[in-house]
Amino acid sequence: MFKYVLKRLVLMLCVFFIIISMCFILVKLLPNEPPAAQPGTDTYRIIMMRREALGYNKPLIEQYWRFITHTLLGGNWGLSEKMYIGREVWDVFLTKLPPTMLVNIYTMLIAVPIGLLFGIYAALKKNKWQDHLISTGVMIFISVPGYVYCFLIQYILCHQLIRWTGGWGFPLTMMSGNDYFSWEMFVSIIPPILALGMGTIAGLARYTRAELCEVLTQEYMLLARTKGLTRGQATVRHALRNSMVPIFPMILGEFIGIIGGSLIVEQTFGIPGVGPLYLESINTRDYNFYLLMNSFYTLIGLASGIIVDLSYGFVDPRIRMGER
Amino acid sequence: MKRILSLTLALIMVLSCVAVLASCVDDTPETTTTTTPSTEQKPVECPGHVDADGDFLCDTPGCMTPVKKAGNYTYNTYMTEFPSMWNPHDYETATEGEILGYTTLGFYTFDYNEDRTGFVVVPEMATQMPVDVTAEYVGDVWGIDEEETARAWKISIRDDIYWENGDHITAYDFVESAKRLLDPTAINHRADSLYSGDMKIVGAKEYFYGGRSVTAQGNSAFSSYSEDLDSVLVFRLAPASPETDNQEIYFRGWYGFPASYDAAKTAAYLEGGDLAGTAFTAAVAAKMEGKTLAEIKADPEMKAAWDALNNWFAGYGANPLYLTLNKATYEVTTWDTVGLLAVSEYELVIIIEDELSGFYLNYSLTGDFGLVHIPTYDACAGVDDNGIYKNTYGTSVENFMSYGPYKLNYFELDKKIELVTNPMWYGYSDASRAGQYMTTRIVYDCYELPETAMEAFLQGKLDSKGLDSDYITQYTGSERIYYTDGASTWFIALNPNESAFANWEKDNAGYDKSIITIKEFRMALSFSLDRQNFINTLDPTGSIAYGLFNNMICSNPDLGVMYREEEAAKDALLAFWGISQDQIGPGKWFATKDDAIESITGYNLEGAKNLFNQAYDKAVEAGIYNGTDKILINIGTPNNTSKFYSRGYTFLVNCWTEAVQGTKLQGLLEFTNDSTLGDAFSDALKANTVDMLFGVGWSGSQLNPYGLIGAYTEDDYRYDAAWNTSAEYMDFVADNGTTYRASVLDWSYSLGGETIEVQVVGEDGKVTGDVEDYSCGTNANRPEERIRLLAAIEKRVLEQYDMIPTHNQSSASLLGYQVEYGNQEYVYGLGRGGLQYMTYNYTDEAWDAYVAEQGGVLAY
């Protein structure tokens, strides 16, 4: 297994290097954004001088070498030239990561148990009205795009609730400050938690139900009951555990997604997170920001693939990877 | 063993991720708060007085005692995007300058006149108006001749200006700040504030550019061509390239060459087209590329090719500057060559390149002048390991210092900004300002969605809210709605380029664009536009535009006179829209000129139909249109997501399709929309990749229409690049009764103070051969003639029908019940009084109670 992991890590680094190199070259081949000033004016010249100083006009191979040595190996991601002018892109990214993580962690902590419970309950009540009710809800929340119920949640909880109650409603946006574990902060992020959690709950419930339904019909479940176990004991000890083999990596994947923000939800609920950064960095051609975001999420994506693969072995000791 | 190793490896990976994430949580450099400066720094007990509002105001300049207000008054507002940096040397956008608006000051400032109907410029950080000390600086050092005035100005500053931490501000701080602003290694975005515009400080540009090469278009670098310039003018046919500072030669845009035409392709095209059979060939052009005119003229073969090209181009009235670039290398200079001197602790002398006095001098000194807290600024400066200069001044509470009425108290990136009263500001101990600056705290929240911001306003969390067209309809009857006219006028812009259209038609059989070059066609487009319906549909708060300048453009800032109130401006408008002076007067069609102007609608469908027919006939007669081809007009827009552009395109298409019904062009007019232009829409029209833009115009220069006219006449700015304003001549009768003739471009230069050569025109309407120098800038001191000349140029530009005015900018907003504007009327420079004059109906506590009493949602 050690060889397997080592091999995967080396391959991961190779893939990372190839992806990043391709992205660097492709993004640098794009024409530069026209300066927001009239050609021939002093302002225009200053912008061009800054670009020159930042190395925009250097040969691509020289820029690439600088990127490898100074950025990837040296950790200097440079200054933002468009989105957060004059700031270190790495500092901005780190500043904006905690709010995203906070909302996503709360979402996972709430959505995963609820999703599992709905899935288990629906499986146990298979083809009864409870199952139909949960399955219908699951279908709705999976089918409807997330931004739709994002706006609906804001409209109901933050706009209308205050009118219905005559004065109390959820805050329109996330509270400011870094008092992340206060009650006020928690209340202010309930709407985005709900907006983000609906999809996770629905997805997990559907998956759990399907897996559990299959396991519950296995012969060893009948054996377990004939041994004298109660239905609850048989379900928890045997059925649920076996059904977790495909579900656990899914949950793990959701947790890894904690550091990835949601563009719509963050904009709607005023979360100063990382959600809009990736898209904006491409739109504004903020090269340093784009390269940081691309590198970070590529690395996280590749690493999570390895972790998920390894997790199978932990969940089910019978599974061995890379061994003959 | 292997399993243990692999588990350990996996664990290390997971722990690494957790460690990184954990470090992120701890690292929150932006979310910091400062406390009010300790009262230990200055005496706590201090003399003072209580103003009419019950506020305690300390009379000791620079006293650290917090200002005791009768209550807390918070002004809550918002931004859709937050500034990341507000370094006075480097900020670019209005958003980035927002914090500086409360924390910095100018030497002078705008204030209301006595009856609050207009503005006056009064000293702010200065103690008196600038004093002309030019005579003291005559000589070669500063390039000032003995007879000159208004080149050197002394500004006396107050002795009680302090930074928020108590550090004293003197004249030396201004000089040291300017030195850092112009630092050649820093390449600050705002460096040009000291060497461009009206007030150009002597030596500032040379200091900033020291050691650098700068490329400019030939016609941008020099106003006129002479053979002396041959050694510094470089011939080029290639498109813009980064190596040459992205400078495009004028010729490319004039001819309509797309970016895909490199030097060789461009030369081959010319050789096979207009220059066929001449000495100009692609092979010789390749040799000429990048060489100076002196080098070209030294070689017989290249000279012959150059002469062929130049003679052909001269036939269109253009000159060699349009075919060349100029590359100049600035010598490194020292700071003592820059005309900014601290002559004493509280006296500053500014030496400028061109004479400047009166309002425009004072106005130039209303900005922050780049003043920074030197110790903090220097601590923030550095060079990274890529050799790139960086400076984090103005990026956090700790990295910034205020000297204005408010200081930054809290900053959270993309979330919240809080400013509080700065007790160190001298204004709080100034009895003459009693009753001003009632606001004790300013809070900015970030609402990216307009719906969320509107709901926040209704819930009492915001004190004002700008309205878009949908909300304007909803709240139009509210007593809290305010309409504000802006200075910008929007246009439909065309660039009728005969050669570019002809090129396009060669590749697009069955289609025609050349009819756009017929003036009657463009006139028909203008007259068939129902402007009232246009603004009702697209911009309900706007008003119809009839000229280049609207009612908010001020022609005489000293007296506060608006351009459209001037008789000459009224006459120009009436003449352009076809109303004769004979129709105006008692007992006539219109009693006054104002009545006549009010009658203008700009809409004449029948007239437009006639003009469409005339355009058809002229185009057929001229052989540029066969009478059956479809006429395809490609309308460019920055995007199609904006309602203005998507609805506007549909409106124009419907309007003009309807207008040609029953004319010879019926069924022949077709439209397409290129909605992918983004910020490059202007370039697209100049390059004729689109035929028309709408919703374009110019903002700024509200107090200087004499400079703003350049946007319609100068090559660097004009949308209609095909119109050669240097070859378009115009007669003008000066105050001395003489009629002069010069190009439209030269006339506009003369308004800026340049001396131009004008030809004297005789009574027979022909030039007499006499040539005179002429200038009509501020210093010419002929204000009435200047207005008349401006109006004449405006009329001439309008008569070209390349820029068809549609509507004037305007906006609407709702004001919350907690606050009241200081002035109901909008006045330039002060608006409705801003925070300086804003008053409050409720303290913060009373406001919260009021909102709760209303059920948490307010009705407006």
Q: What's the longest Cα–Cα distance across chain B?
A: 111
The answer to whether the CB atoms of A87 and B10 lie below 8 A apart is no
What residues pair up with B344 in beta bridges, in sequence order? Answer: B347
Intra-chain end-to-end CA distance of chain A, in Å: 11
pLDDT given at position B245: 64
Tens digits of residue pLDDT in A259-295: 777 888 999 999 999 988 988 888 888 888 999 999 9
Using CA coordinates, name the residue in chain B closest to A311: B10
Please determine, for residue A112, whether its predicted confidence score (pLDDT) is greater than 70: yes
How far apart are alpha carbons B740 and A260 in whole angstroms? 69
Q: Is B784:B563 a contact under the CB 8 Å cutoff?
A: no
B187, B372, B698, B714: best to mutate for the A interface, most A CBs within 10 A: B187
Of the candidates B6, B385, B452, the beta carbon closest to that of A2 is on B6
Tell me how far the alpha carbon of residue A70 is from its chain's centroid. 28
For residue B774, give the 3-state DSSP assignment: strand
CB contact under 8 A, A162 and B852: no
Q: What is the pLDDT of residue B316?
A: 74
Q: Which of B181, B195, B246 to mutate to test the interface with A (most CBs of A within 10 A)?
A: B246
* Least Cα separation, residue A155 to chain B (angstroms): 9
pLDDT of residue B558: 80
How far CA B644 is from CA of B539, B647, B680, in Å, comes to 8, 6, 18
Other C-beta atoms closer than 10 Å to the C-beta of A283 total: 14
Calculate how close chain A gets to B857, using CA atoms only, in Å: 7
Non-local CB neighbours of B705 within 8 Å, separated by 6+ positions: B549, B553, B554, B555, B563, B790
Q: Which of B30, B78, B850 is best to mutate for the A interface (most A CBs within 10 A)? A: B30
Distance of CA B170 to the CA centre of its chain: 32
B residues 91-150 near A, CB within 8 Å? 92, 96
* pLDDT exceeds 50 at position A154: yes
Q: How many CB pairs under 8 A join A and B?
A: 194
Instruction: Please answer whether residues B609 and B659 qualify as being in contact, where contact means their C-beta atoms are separated by less than 8 angstroms.
Output: yes
Name the residue among B28, B31, B679 with its Cβ closest to that of A34: B679
Alpha-carbon distance B197 to nearest alpha carbon in chain A (angstroms): 10
Q: Do B413 and A9 count as a contact with CB atoms less than 8 A apart?
A: no
Of A45, A56, A96, Cβ closest to residue B245: A45
Q: Does B81 touch chain A (CB under 8 A)?
A: no
| Three-state SS annotation for chain A | CHHHHHHHHHHHHHHHHHHHHHHHHHHHHCCCCCCCCCCCCHHHHHHHHHHHHCCCCCCHHHHHHHHHHHHHHCCCCCECCCCCCCCEHHHHHHHHHHHHHHHHHHHHHHHHHHHHHHHHHHHHCCCCHHHHHHHHHHHHHHHCCHHHHHHHHHHHHHHHHHHHHCCCCCCCCCCCCCCCCCHHHHHHCHHHHHHHHHHHHHHHHHHHHHHHHHHHCCHHHHHHHHCCCCHHHHHHHHHHHHHHHHHHHHHHHHHHHHHCCCHHHHHHCCCCCCCCHHHHHHHCCCHHHHHHHHHHHHHHHHHHHHHHHHHHHHHCCCCCCCCC
Residues of chain B found within 8 Å of residue A283, distances taken between Cβ atoms: none
CA distance A131 to chain B (A): 37
From B2, B191, B205, residue closest to A1, measured CB to CB: B2
> B792 and B569 in contact (C-beta within 8 Å)?
no
- How do the residues of chain B divide into helix, strand and coil, expressed in percent and rounded to 5? 35, 20, 45
Q: Does B391 touch chain A (CB under 8 A)?
A: yes
Q: What is the pLDDT of residues B790-836, one digit of tens each?
A: 999 999 999 999 999 999 988 899 999 999 999 998 888 889 999 99
pLDDT at residue A236, rounded to an integer: 84
The pTM assigned to this predicted structure is 0.77
Distance from CA of A194 to the nearest CA of B (A): 18
Q: Which site among B23, B89, B188, B192 would you substitute to test the A interface, given the most A Cβ atoms closer than 10 Å to its Cβ?
A: B192
Task: Please tell me which residue of chain B has the smallest CA distance to A164.
Answer: B855
Q: Is B212 on the interface with A (CB under 8 A)?
A: yes
Higher pLDDT, A312 or A160: A160
Q: Which range in A31-35, A64-68, B341-345 is most confidently predicted, on average pLDDT?
A: B341-345
Contact call for residues B2 and A3 (beta carbons, < 8 A): yes
pLDDT in the model for residue B56: 53
A70–B856 C-beta distance less than 8 A: no
Which among A43, A86, A307 has the least Cβ separation from residue B390? A86
Q: Of B245, B322, B410, B677, which to mutate for an interface test with A (greatest number of A Cβ within 10 Å)?
A: B245
| Least Cα separation, residue A201 to chain B (angstroms) | 25
Q: Cβ B449–A3 below 8 Å, yes or no?
A: no
What pLDDT does residue B10 have?
47
Query: Would an 8 Å CB–CB cutoff place B211 in contact with chain A?
Result: no
**Closest CA relative to residue B548, chosen from B828, B791, B826, B827:** B791
Do A272 and B191 count as a contact with CB atoms less than 8 A apart? Answer: no
Assess B220–A contact: CB distance below 8 Å, yes or no.
yes
pLDDT for residue B243: 56
What is the maximum alpha-carbon separation in chain A? 89
Contacts of B27 in chain A (CB under 8 A): 94-95
Low-confidence ranges of chain B (pLDDT < 50): 1-46, 50, 52, 54, 62, 64-68
Task: Name the residue among B840, B712, B665 with its Cα closest to residue B73.
Answer: B840
Question: Which of B24, B27, B246 lies at the smallest CB-CB distance from A39?
Answer: B246
Chain B partners within 8 Å of A80 (Cβ): 84
Strand pairing partners for B697? Answer: B490
b/e sequence A67-96, b meaning 16+ C-beta within 10 Å: beebbbeeebbbbbbbbbbbbbbbbbbbbb
Q: Do B85 and A85 touch (CB under 8 A)?
A: yes
Q: Which residues contact A174 (CB under 8 A, 6 or more apart)?
A: A99, A103, A185, A188, A189, A192, A269, A270, A271, A272, B415
B17 touches chain A (CB under 8 A): yes
The alpha-carbon gap from B441 to the nearest alpha carbon of chain A, in Å, equals 16
Whole-angstrom Cα distance, residue B816 to residue B832? 15
State the smallest CA–CA distance between residue A252 and chain B in angstroms.
12
Q: What is the CA radius of gyration of chain B?
A: 31
Q: Which of A44-48, A106-110, B173-177, B506-510 has the lowest mean pLDDT?
A: A44-48
The predicted structure's pLDDT at residue A40: 62
ipTM value, please give it.
0.88
**pLDDT reading at A242 higher than 90:** no
CA B541 to chain centre: 22
Q: Among B31, B79, B199, pick the best mutation site for testing chain A contact (most A Cβ within 10 A).
A: B31
Query: Which residues does chain A have within 8 Å of residue B189's beta carbon, measured at their own beta carbons?
Result: 43, 46-47, 50
Q: What pLDDT is attached to residue A310?
A: 82
Least confident range from A47-51, A118-122, B669-673: namely A47-51
Residue of B nearest to A263 (CA): B448
Give chain A positions within 8 Å (CB) of B11: none
Q: Which of B789, B785, B779 is nearest to B748 (CA)?
A: B789
C-alpha–C-alpha distance, residues A57 and A42, integer Å: 19
Q: Enter the tokens of residue B199.
A: 């007030």
pLDDT at A60 over 60: yes
pLDDT attached to residue B29: 36
What is the structure's pLDDT at B57? 56
Closest-CA residue of chain B to A41: B716
Cross-chain Cβ contact B9/A9 below 8 Å? yes
In Å, how far is B672's CA from the nearest CA of chain A?
25
